[in-house]
Amino acid sequence: MTTAANHPDVTPFFDPATNTWTYLVADPATGDAVIIDAVLDYEPKGAVVSHAGLERLLAAAQQRQLQLKYVMESHVHADHLAGGHWLRDKTGAPLVIGARISEVQREFAPRFGMDDLAADGRQFDMLLDDGAALRLGNLTIRVLHTPGHTPACVTYLIGDAAFVGDTMFMPDYGTARCDFPGGDAATLHASIAKILALPPETRIFVGHDYLPAGRSEFACETTVAAQKAGNIHVHDGVAAADFIAMRRARDATLTPPQLILPSLQVNIAAGELPPADSKGRRFLRLPLQVI
């Protein structure tokens, strides 16, 4: 049952370059707020980083006189550079991620020659296990470990709102890919089942939206009931084995995200850009595969 006491105010921000949704979530009673999955602007052709989107986020929070308590990541993103590090530096709000981030760091740091990266999550301020809880004014943030897309994916349940990251999308688009290292279709199915076991009126906010045939406007919000009734991949009646077979076959046809190489090396370091050299220059790494 939805009441004023468990109904956070959710303001979405869409990044059209990466089809990413970022959320400013506030307790309307106290003004305490969090930002979930912020995007650092990155133009890949010129390798240009800017902060216009992040500045808009902060301006929106400041205009409403919200108190930013946490900056939260649902997982290590492979399709955009995360803006959490910059937001933490600007506001002092702790940067939060799921506790299994270390598994992702151990997987990817060697691929980028990042031998100095401590693969224990210390780049983040708070590492949250499944079942962890944080206060947000009069609301509670609960953590659901929902791996499958990556080993470290979490869903943040804030009152009647679930922020599912890349675990599942709008019902007409389906579910996340599972072909990254550590991903697994069977694990994803179990995680989705955990989300769909929430009350049917629970609001679900997705991490991305892509326009399928027949829809012309981007969307970010659905419900548990709508997902169970109409998700094209996992609606009621779809057997786990059929979902797993579909997901594995579909993933075999997918190409890597456009920004996977810059994104992963920045995001496993909590969104911190590579250090500047003596001339103030910063360099990303491009691991080559010679075949």
The CA-atom distances, in angstroms, between 183 and each of 186, 187, 196, 264 are 9, 8, 20, 15
Q: Residue 89, Cβ neighbours under 10 Å: how many?
A: 12
Residue 224 pLDDT exceeds 90:
yes
What is the average pLDDT score of the chain?
96
Query: pTM (2 decimals)?
Result: 0.96
Residue 64 pLDDT exceeds 70:
yes
Angstrom distance (rounded) from CA 16 to CA 72 = 21
**Beta-bridge partner residues of 18:** none
Q: What is the pLDDT of residue 5?
A: 74
Q: What is the pLDDT of residue 95?
A: 98
Q: What is the pLDDT of residue 3?
A: 60
Average pLDDT of the residues in 145-149: 98
Residue 59's H or E segment, with its range, is helix 52-63
Angstrom distance (rounded) from CA 194 to CA 209 = 21
Query: Which of 254, 169, 255 is CA-nearest to residue 211?
Result: 169
**CB–CB of 156/207 below 8 Å?**
no
Q: What is the 8-class DSSP label of residue 168?
A: B
All structural domains of the chain, each given as residue ranges with its CATH number in brackets, are 9-267 (3.60.15.10)
The CA-atom distances, in angstroms, between 111 and each of 14, 168, 187, 247 are 30, 27, 24, 26
Q: What is the tens place of the pLDDT at every residue in 183-195?
A: 999 999 999 999 9
Q: What is the pLDDT of residue 97?
A: 98
Residue type present at position 191: S
Q: What is the tens place of the pLDDT at every residue in 84-123?
A: 999 999 999 999 999 999 999 999 999 999 999 999 999 9
89 phi, psi to nearest 5 deg: -65, -35
Q: What is the pLDDT of residue 289?
A: 87
Per-residue pLDDT band at 4 (split at 50, 70, 90):
low
Residue 1 pLDDT exceeds 80:
no
Residue 2 pLDDT exceeds 60:
no
Query: Which of 86, 73, 90, 81 is CA-nearest to residue 35?
Result: 73
- Mind giving me the DSSP string for 236-251? TT--HHHHHHHHHHHH
